Amino acid sequence: MPARSATPPSIGFRLLLPILATALGFGALVLALTEMPLLNLAGNRLAQGRPLFAGLVLGGLLPVILALSGLALGLLMGSRRRASAGAAIVLLAGAVLALAYGLGDGAARSLGGLPPAARASLGPGSWFAAALLMTGVGLAVRRADRPGLGWLITLGGILGFGLLANSGAVGALSLAVEYAARREAVNAAIGEHLILSGAALGLAGIGAVLLSLPRRGQGVVAMVLTGVQVIPAVALLGALVAVTAGLLRALPILRDLGLSALGPAPAIVAIAAYLALPLWRGLALALRSPDHASLEAAEAMGLSPGQILIRLRLQLGAPILVGALRVAAVQSLGLATLGALVGAGGLGRIVFDGMAQFAPDLILLGAIPVVALSLGTERGLSAVEAAARRRWHA
């Protein structure tokens, strides 16, 4: 909690705000579940469908979901105790589970008797309601204020959803149908995506270390790396494809090494070019993190430059380094999506296939793993960064 140093805002406002927010949140949830289409029933995976609403889809589960989430929001609003936050988490998790089961069940029932090409996809109401419930869970986790609880809930959520998907309860939803049809391609794309962004991160890391070695000319390095950031990624990818093609014509030996103008090579170089700036800047800041006094003390103690680098500079600078790595890794995962434009594969290929076919489910099938990977990396490395800060800056 931030310190309330100066005069607090009026008491009425402070009391009114949570009530207002709760009412707004619950109102939005009711609206999403009752007024917006929860499912979209179409003749095939590309056709425009007709919307299905809660009465047909959720049936008797609707009041259950609303009661569970209403109770949870009431608990969150009415009490600041940790126990009530915990109860709210349980209630909201129940609501999410009921919604997921209800949507899967509703999809299966509405598809009954229709030809196999027919699809039931999630409508705006479902996405909106899911987002609201997740926000509620996030607020409750924050209120409960237990270290590691967020991770536990995330893990539990993934596990619960995996079990639900495995049991076939949501198998009728178009996203699940699409995944079942392309399981191999999606899994391969996730692997390619990780390799692509990992390779770019490695290349950029090596580049950043090499660029920070010379004592002179760091100003020029800064200018060039900042300049690269200005170039749109689409343009840099195009330019690198042309340059690689020219290079291959000039030096055909490179072709024997497996290099090609369209493929992972130009994509990795392009992505690495963008990652070099945060990594190089982070490295420079990290190496400068110990103050003069500690450096002099270390020298007086007889530590060699190598020991000073490892024991002092890199340890004190560890949080900064991890922070730079986090920024670069998240950027890398996002940019790797564009790699498919030059035939590098990865999840971008699925996204672009979906765009070309105008198939929303296919786009989602590519987009969801990208977002999940980026979010997971962001959260994970943030936690490492915080741990490093605690460890060396107690």
Which residue, 2 or 112, is less far from another protein as judged by CB?
Answer: 2
Q: How far is the CB of 331 from another protein (least distance, A)?
A: 8
Which residue, 101 or 352, is less far from another protein as judged by CB?
Answer: 352
**Stretch binding another protein (CB under 8 A), from 61-69, 74-82, 206-214, 357-365:** 357-365
Q: How far is CA 27 from CA 34, 61, 80, 182, 232, in A?
A: 11, 18, 22, 38, 41
Of residues 352, 384, 389, 392, which one binds another protein by CB under 8 A?
Answer: 352
User: Taking CB under 8 A as the rule, does residue 279 contact another protein?
Assistant: no
**Stretch binding another protein (CB under 8 A), from 27-35, 71-79, 112-120, 363-371:** 363-371
**Residues 6 or more apart whose Cβ sits within 8 Å of residue 137:** 89, 92, 93, 96, 153
Of residues 257, 258, 300, 358, which one binds another protein by CB under 8 A?
Answer: 358
Three-state SS string over the chain comes to CCCCCCCCCCHHHHHHHHHHHHHHHHHHHHHHHHHCCCEEEECCCCCCCEEECHHHHCCCHHHHHHHHHHHHHHHHHHCCCHHHHHHHHHHHHHHHHHHHHHHHHHHHHHHCCCCCCCEEEECHHHHHHHHHHHHHHHHHHHHHCCCCHHHHHHHHHHHHHHHHHHCCCCCCEHHHHHHHHHHHHHHHHHHHHHHHHHHHHHHHHHHHHHHHCCCCCHHHHHHHHHHHHHCCHHHHHHHHHHHHHHHHHHCCHHHHCCCCCCCHHHHHHHHHHHHHHHHHHHHHHHHCCCCHHHHHHHHHCCCCHHHHHHHHHHHHCHHHHHHHHHHHHHHHHHHHHHHHHHCCCCHHHHHHHHHHHCCHHHHHHHHHHHHHHHHHHHHHHHHHHHHHHHHHCC
Q: How far is the CB of 18 from another protein (least distance, A)?
A: 9
Q: How far is the CB of 129 from another protein (least distance, A)?
A: 17
Of residues 27, 78, 246, 305, which one binds another protein by CB under 8 A?
Answer: 246
Of residues 110, 238, 254, 260, which one binds another protein by CB under 8 A?
Answer: 238
Of residues 78, 162, 227, 380, which one binds another protein by CB under 8 A?
Answer: 227
How many residues bind another protein (CB under 8 A)? The answer is: 56
User: Taking CB under 8 A as the rule, does residue 305 contact another protein?
Assistant: no
User: Taking CB under 8 A as the rule, does residue 337 contact another protein?
Assistant: yes
Q: How far is the CB of 269 from another protein (least distance, A)?
A: 15
Q: How far is the CB of 360 from another protein (least distance, A)?
A: 4
Q: How far is the CB of 112 from another protein (least distance, A)?
A: 26
User: Taking CB under 8 A as the rule, does residue 220 contact another protein?
Assistant: no
Of residues 173, 204, 324, 370, which one binds another protein by CB under 8 A?
Answer: 370
Chain residues 115-144 in contact with another protein, contact rule CB under 8 A: 138-139, 142
User: Taking CB under 8 A as the rule, does residue 268 contact another protein?
Assistant: no
User: Taking CB under 8 A as the rule, does residue 160 contact another protein?
Assistant: no
Residues found near another protein in the complex (CB under 8 A): 2, 6, 9, 13, 17, 138-139, 142, 223, 226-227, 229-239, 241-243, 245-246, 249-250, 262, 330, 333-335, 337-338, 341-342, 348, 351-352, 354-355, 358, 360, 363-364, 366-367, 370-371, 374-375, 377-378, 382
